[in-house]
């Protein structure tokens, strides 16, 4: 291990940051691909990747280059003017999806707020027979849509319906993969159904193809919108460019975040032409569509679209799946689930937090894992991961689980 140049913890006051979560006493100073290095020079194999954000790994050359090149040209001419990277990225996204219009934002929550506003606007323009506004959006138990007031209200996380009350009204909750539970909530106030094609924070729970197709037929039948939140599952994560493509359906509205920026703050709201009902004054934002971030988004998208890239995600997802199944069988766990390179291991007992801690503290190299539920581990590696880096993680994980069970 390298000698630390200085102890950052004696130089800075960690309590200068507002307390929001328990952080380990580590400062990460360098990232490269699947690897992070801390202030002591210790290396970690990183299966968090900024929470499924760094789809091309830490600091890939194409993002460094896009940032440097664009910073030298223009950083922010103002969202009131066109700029070339945002036009190029919007054009490419519409060419490779079923959508016609794109609005760029800075976070997943902000893109989802935009989707909620767009759906409510559309509901206002399409009033009930009695002339009342329609505004309800059906969402799902265990779903996660962000941390703004409206997106917390839309989320199905336990307890979030009373935190920071009063909540934003109008988000009744159905059960994932249970079409009857959705149909039972549809009233003349309903304007949309919104869901993650693969619930991420909820524990990597894919909506079935049958359910997605059923939802598409049901929403069509009732004349309401289908909104997919692909902030975590979109941008190649499942092996398809967009997760809705796994189900052979076309949603009306989609949001993207996380992977679209490969680590920088960028998100997007996409819709079909017939739902593009915003008027001037309805939607905007100081940094929205700025060329510095959209230039990065374009570099990311071009990488995902290179021949063979998405197939490699499917192949590596299958390889990871097989390895996790082996560990599950060896240690009497309950199997694994997921799509592409978004996967979860069902531990069968509440040892998730313990595994995360022991794995991080392994020597000489650590392993960074995530346990979104006490009995579950979630894996969201860079889409550029190598098979050797999958093998290395599986060996380390096996070692940690063996040490806990013995």
Ligand X SMILES: *Cc1c(COP(=O)(O)O)cnc(C)c1O
Q: In what order do the strands lie in the sheet with 376-379?
A: 336-339, 342-346, 376-379, 370-373
Contact 376, 203 (CB under 8 A): yes
Cα(71)–Cα(166) distance, rounded to whole angstroms?
Answer: 42
Q: What is the CA radius of gyration of the chain?
A: 22
Q: How far is the CB of 145 from ligand X (least distance, A)?
A: 5
In terms of CB distance, is 38 or 196 closer to ligand X? 196
Among 108, 340, 366, 381, binds ligand X (CB under 6 A): 108
Q: How far is the CB of 231 from ligand X (least distance, A)?
A: 4
Q: How far is the CB of 243 from ligand X (least distance, A)?
A: 10
Stretch that binds ligand X, among 21-29, 102-110, 116-124, 313-321 (CB under 6 A): 102-110
Q: How many residues bind ligand X (CB under 6 A)?
A: 15
The tokens of 318 are what?
A: 């299958």
DSSP H or E stretch at residue 219: helix 209-222
* 231 scored as a contact of ligand X (CB under 6 A): yes
- Range list of β-strands (E), 128-221: 136-140, 173-174, 190-195, 198-199, 205-206
* 338 scored as a contact of ligand X (CB under 6 A): no
In terms of CB distance, is 261 or 366 closer to ligand X? 261
In terms of CB distance, is 173 or 222 closer to ligand X? 173
Among 107, 238, 247, 288, binds ligand X (CB under 6 A): 107
In terms of CB distance, is 256 or 295 closer to ligand X? 256
Nearest C-alpha neighbor of 47 from the set 401, 402, 371, 347:
371
Is residue 199 helix, strand or coil? strand
Cα(184)–Cα(319) distance, rounded to whole angstroms?
Answer: 40
Is residue 164 helix, strand or coil? coil
Q: How far is the CB of 86 from ligand X (least distance, A)?
A: 18
Stretch that binds ligand X, among 226-234, 304-312, 329-337, 365-373 (CB under 6 A): 226-234
The tokens of 234 are what?
A: 């979109």
Pairing between β-strand 342-346 and β-strand 336-339 as defined by DSSP bridges:
antiparallel
Among 109, 249, 269, 351, binds ligand X (CB under 6 A): 109
- Range list of β-strands (E), 214-291: 225-230, 253-256, 267-271
In terms of CB distance, is 331 or 378 closer to ligand X? 378
Binding mask 194-213 for ligand X (x = CB under 6 A): --x---xx------------
* 257 scored as a contact of ligand X (CB under 6 A): yes
Among 136, 229, 336, 389, binds ligand X (CB under 6 A): 229
Residue 336 pairs in a beta bridge with 345
Among 85, 123, 146, 261, binds ligand X (CB under 6 A): 146
* 144 scored as a contact of ligand X (CB under 6 A): yes
**Which residue lies nearest ligand X, judged by its C-beta?**
108
Nearest C-alpha neighbor of 125 from the set 285, 276, 270, 272:
276
Stretch that binds ligand X, among 104-112, 179-187, 205-213, 300-308 (CB under 6 A): 104-112
Q: How far is the CB of 337 from ligand X (least distance, A)?
A: 17
Stretch that binds ligand X, among 1-9, 65-73, 106-114, 311-319 (CB under 6 A): 106-114
Question: In degrees rounded to 5, what are phi and psi of residue 287?
Answer: -100, 0
Nearest C-alpha neighbor of 33 from the set 50, 48, 42, 46:
46
In terms of CB distance, is 229 or 252 closer to ligand X? 229
Among 120, 145, 240, 378, binds ligand X (CB under 6 A): 145
Q: How far is the CB of 176 from ligand X (least distance, A)?
A: 13
Cβ count within 10 A of residue 248 = 10
In terms of CB distance, is 20 or 306 closer to ligand X? 20
The tokens of 47 are what?
A: 């299966």
Residue ranges that bind ligand X, judged by CB under 6 A: 107-109, 112, 144-146, 196, 200-201, 229, 231-232, 257-258
């Amino acid at each position: 291990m390298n000698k630390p140049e200085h102890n950052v913890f004696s130089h800075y006051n960690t309590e200068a940051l507002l307390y929001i979560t328990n952080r380990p006493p580590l400062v990460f100073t360098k990232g490269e691909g699947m690897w992070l290095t801390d202030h002591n020079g210790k290396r970690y194999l990183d299966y968090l990747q900024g929470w499924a954000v760094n789809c091309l790994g830490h600091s890939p050359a194409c993002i460094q280059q896009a940032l440097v090149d664009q910073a030298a040209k223009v950083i922010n001419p103002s969202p009131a003017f066109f700029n070339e990277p945002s036009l190029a990225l919007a054009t490419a996204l519409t060419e490779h999806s079923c959508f016609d219009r794109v609005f760029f934002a800075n976070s997943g929550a902000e893109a989802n707020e935009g989707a909620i506003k767009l759906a409510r606007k559309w509901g206002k323009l399409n009033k009930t027979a009695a002339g009342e506004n329609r505004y309800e959006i059906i969402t799902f138990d265990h779903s996660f849509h962000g941390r703004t007031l409206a997106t917390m209200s839309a989320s199905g996380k336990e307890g979030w319906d009373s935190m920071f009350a009063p909540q934003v009204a109008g988000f009744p909750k159905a059960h994932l993969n249970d079409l009857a539970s959705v149909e039972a909530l549809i009233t003349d106030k309903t304007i949309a159904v919104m869901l993650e094609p693969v619930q991420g924070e909820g524990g990597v729970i894919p909506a079935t193809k049958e359910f997605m197709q059923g939802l598409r037929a049901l929403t069509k039948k009732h004349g309401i919108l289908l909104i997919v939140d692909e902030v975590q599952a979109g941008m190649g994560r499942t092996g398809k460019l967009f997760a809705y493509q796994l189900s052979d359906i076309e949603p009306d509205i989609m949001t993207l975040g996380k992977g679209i920026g490969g680590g920088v703050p960028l998100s997007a709201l996409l819709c079909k032409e017939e739902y593009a009902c915003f008027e001037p004054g309805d939607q905007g934002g100081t940094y929205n569509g700025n060329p510095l971030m959209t230039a990065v988004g374009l570099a990311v998208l071009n990488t995902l679209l290179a021949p063979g890239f998405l197939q490699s995600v499917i192949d590596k997802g299958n390889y990871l799946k097989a390895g996790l199944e082996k560990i599950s069988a060896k240690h009497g766990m309950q199997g694994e689930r997921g799509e592409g390179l978004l996967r979860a291991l069902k531990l069968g007992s509440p040892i998730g937090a313990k595994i995360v801690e022991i794995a991080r503290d392994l020597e000489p190299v650590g392993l960074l894992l995530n346990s979104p539920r006490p009995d579950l581990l979630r894996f969201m590696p860079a889409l550029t991961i190598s098979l050797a880096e999958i093998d290395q993680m599986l060996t380390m994980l096996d070692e940690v689980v063996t040490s806990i069970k013995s």
